[in-house]
Structure 1
């Protein structure tokens, strides 16, 4: 099992999704795509941004957030609980203050709308990237890479 999983909640920009999957491949992180996505999510559709790196990443696909939560419940029953960490501009805790654990799932929301209340409610922890006042948000792929980097640094994986 990879030390971390990056979950993409209903991604709607294929280039960003491909970039995040490429990041997962380079860093040894598994990926999960929670549908429905705003574009086809076959490996072929990610080839442009993910290039040949997609062969190097494990991608679990979940038809819905309900299916994703069922998968997490099955992991918990099998003795492998997976903590869900939501990256959100609405969170109060900084990603720098989190003590990451092996098996954590870092979840990013839709580029156009973030994550709905149902996802916020299911998260074990919501994290934000501190930014200058008046700035709305980072690109989702950049944000994911920043937080993955900190989590992997703490876990001393790479």
Structure 2
């Protein structure tokens, strides 16, 4: 690991949950929207530093509205720390650099859906090291990516659909 520290848990995380992981998020409004999705679905939100904003910024509050107290958040000091801590976890890396669709994947009891920075995604060396764990959201040719918060919602709701929306009303 080439960074200091590891995970900083803001709450106790229960086993058997859906996990949403954001590697170095840059736009506070996206993170706020994703936090709202996590609150509504019961997913745990992992924020991997460095981030392009502070968690205390007013933009986060505006985007996440009054849902922040309903979100379980785990902060990680860097990508290497997250990958080391969760080396044996069920990781799914969302990227446009694979042919395997997120919808063709069977998600287990405790999947981690991993998303990269808004500006450049997940680093190539990480994707290369986890080729079999990479999935994509199909799009028209020539278009680079969806908005991060939309991509997270698509991935999260596929996991929940496979679980027949258990625990949701």
Check whether TM > 0.5. yes
1:79-106 Cα offsets, whole Å, 9 max, x none, are xx42110110112100110001121100
1:147 aligns with: 155
TM-score (norm 1): 0.88
Listed as ranges, the matches of 1:1-158 within 5 Å are 1=14, 3-42=17-56, 46-73=60-87, 81-123=88-130, 125-156=133-164, 157=166, 158=168
2:9 aligns with: none
SS at match of 1:93: coil
Moved over 6 A (4+): none
RMSD value, Cα: 1.7
SS at match of 2:86: helix
Structure 2 unpaired stretches of 5+:
1-13
TM-score (norm 2): 0.82
Aligned pairs, how many? 151
2:6 aligns with: none
Structure 1 unpaired stretches of 5+:
74-80
SS at match of 1:22: helix
Task: Measure, in 2, the Cα distance between the counterparts of 1:135 and 1:122.
Answer: 25
Alignment check: 8 A CA contact 1:102 1:155 kept: no
Task: Measure, in 2, the Cα distance between the counterparts of 1:97 and 1:10.
Answer: 27
Task: Measure, in 1, the Cα distance between the counterparts of 2:91 and 2:57.
Answer: 25
